[in-house]
Structure 1
Amino acid sequence: MSTPERAGWYDDPDDDSRLRYFDGIIWSDRTEPKQTRQPRPPAGPTSGGDPTGSPSAGASGGPAAGQPRPGTDVFGRPTPTETHGQWQGHGQWQGQHQWPGHGGHQPAGHGYAQPEPTTADGQPLASYGPRVGAYIVDGLIVAVLNLLVAGWAWWLWLADYWNFVYDAALRGDQGAIEGLTPGELTAMFDWTYFFIATGLSLLVQCVYHVGFLRARNATPGKMMLGLSVRRVDQPGRLAVGTAFMRMLLPLGVGLLSMVPLLSYLVFFVTLADLLWPLRDPRRQALHDKIAGTQVVRGRQPR
């Protein structure tokens, strides 16, 4: 049985021999046998009575017998009114509600589910779990790309050290490795290749994220989990500048990680960026706030 569009008495979906009252949002626990009442929608504002002869609100100055007061459900709780929204796929309405007598906010202590956070125009925001999943998927993909593009430079950075360790292992001279001083260990690294490898890795990360955000409004990880990125003020395709601004913080963190004294700070900045959506009312990470973007469910219009 389909859900009624208005409050009133209707055939009970669970028992054809009785009627159940629908309060406009959910089926209530209030039922009556069919012999005492016939299914009917609520009386209109100009009607003089209902099919059972009970006086209407217009006739008595109050609600009809057996009907809740206007603006409340069968339990006397305030009901929300649809203020604005838009039709989504599969014939579903995505809108926002106002709660009478509570300044537009949901009343506390009435058992209502917490409304889902949305953008200003009503698009549902992505929850934290899928965002973390997308982050992990993208991280694995970028790691593989870095291995293909910059792996050779990382190897050459450590080549002398690996050769020293290999020769010591062949001689069975474990003490040679343990006796290395910090200065001797640092001198074995070719720091030119370190900077080349770091630059290539940051370039791969930037091209990956900016390219996919510009072309599809989502990285492969987000596409796998049904998420996309949009501007706070409007949906649609992201500009290259917006996509790049969203990468400024991750790129800056990558550069700071090369500075020994600042590498510890990088950990806390990265952690704050990852955890920020948990408490932010717009569910934005720090890099979202810099770019003015939000992560939402579903695809963006092209």
Structure 2
Amino acid sequence: MQDNEFEYVGFWPRVGATIIDVIIIMIITVPLLVAIYGKSYFFADETPLIAGWADFLISWVFPAVATILFWLHKQATPGKMAISARVVDAQTGNSLTVGQSIGRYFGYVIAMLPLFLGIIWVAFDPRKQGWHDKLAGTVVIRLKNRGPIPVKFGS
């Protein structure tokens, strides 16, 4: 793998990837939560942060474990795969370690706390790293020329 083959993935493609991931997680978790807690789970006036053990497992543990496993085994979540991006170690370009994956996941909390500033940071950072990337020592990359053939206009 040569450095000049890749580019850092910026803010908007990563937002798109996140939207894809959230939709997939919701397709899995919402029916389970409705089956266990009923529709009132989503419409109650005073919904607790965690409604019970099943809620904790479905809403908090499952997404964390799934995301970390995707990073470890595929270098990307389904959303990142859809945009041909990979999450790699910032120093070597290799797959993440278990520690990096866990640190990156929980680094999202730190990145989101001050009005999502650590996420928005991706838009302005030269290596397109959010605070979660910086904390875990990761970057999100993809091939520069992803199409089957280069675009040519004219004759």
Which category describes the TM-score, using the shorter chain as reference length?
A: 0.7 to 0.9
Question: Are residues 1:137 and 2:20 paired?
Answer: yes
Structure 2 CA distance for partners of 1:237 and 1:268, relative to 1, 3 Å: closer
* Contact 1:157/1:192 (8 A) holds in 2: no
More helix by share: 2
Q: Within 5 Å, which residues of 2 pair with 1:14-53?
A: none
1:137 partner amino acid = I
Question: Are residues 1:287 and 2:118 paired?
Answer: no
Structure 2 CA distance for partners of 1:270 and 1:205, relative to 1, 3 Å: farther
Counterpart in 1 of 2:51? 194
2:65 partner amino acid = V
* Contact 1:276/1:284 (8 A) holds in 2: yes
1:277 partner amino acid = V
Q: What is the CA deviation profile of residues 155-176 of structure 1, one whole-angstrom value per residue up to 9, with x for unaligned ones?
A: 38749x87xxxxxxxxxxxxxx
Whole-Å separation in 1 of the counterparts to 2:142 and 2:21 = 17
Q: What is the CA deviation profile of residues 50-75 of structure 1, one whole-angstrom value per residue up to 9, with x for unaligned ones?
A: xxxxxxxxxxxxxxxxxxxxxxxxxx
Query: Higher relative CO (CA 8 A, sep ≥ 6), structure 1 or 2?
Result: 2
Question: Are residues 1:245 and 2:128 paired?
Answer: no
**Identity over aligned pairs, percent:** 25
* Contact 1:126/1:227 (8 A) holds in 2: yes
Whole-Å separation in 2 of the counterparts to 1:216 and 1:193 = 30
Structure 2 CA distance for partners of 1:238 and 1:273, relative to 1, 3 Å: same
Counterpart in 1 of 2:148? none
Q: Which runs of 5+ in 2 are unaligned?
A: 144-155
1:136 partner amino acid = I
Structure 2 CA distance for partners of 1:195 and 1:230, relative to 1, 3 Å: same
* Contact 2:112/2:118 (8 A) holds in 1: no
Q: Within 5 Å, which residues of 2 pair with 1:167-246?
A: 186=46, 194-196=51-53, 197-246=55-104
More strand by share: 1
1:246 partner amino acid = R
* Contact 2:107/2:136 (8 A) holds in 1: no
Q: Within 5 Å, which residues of 2 pair with 1:51-130?
A: 86=2, 94=4, 123-130=6-13
- Offset of 1:238 from its aligned partner? 1.6
2:99 partner amino acid = G
- Which has more radius of gyration? 1
Query: In angstroms, what is the RMSD of aligned CA positions?
Result: 3.1
Question: Are residues 1:150 and 2:33 paired?
Answer: yes
Runs of 4+ in structure 1 off by over 4 angstroms are 156-159
Count of residues in Structure 1 that have an aligned counterpart in Structure 2: 142
Q: Which runs of 5+ in 1 are unaligned?
A: 1-84, 89-93, 95-121, 163-184, 254-265
SS class of match (1:124) = strand
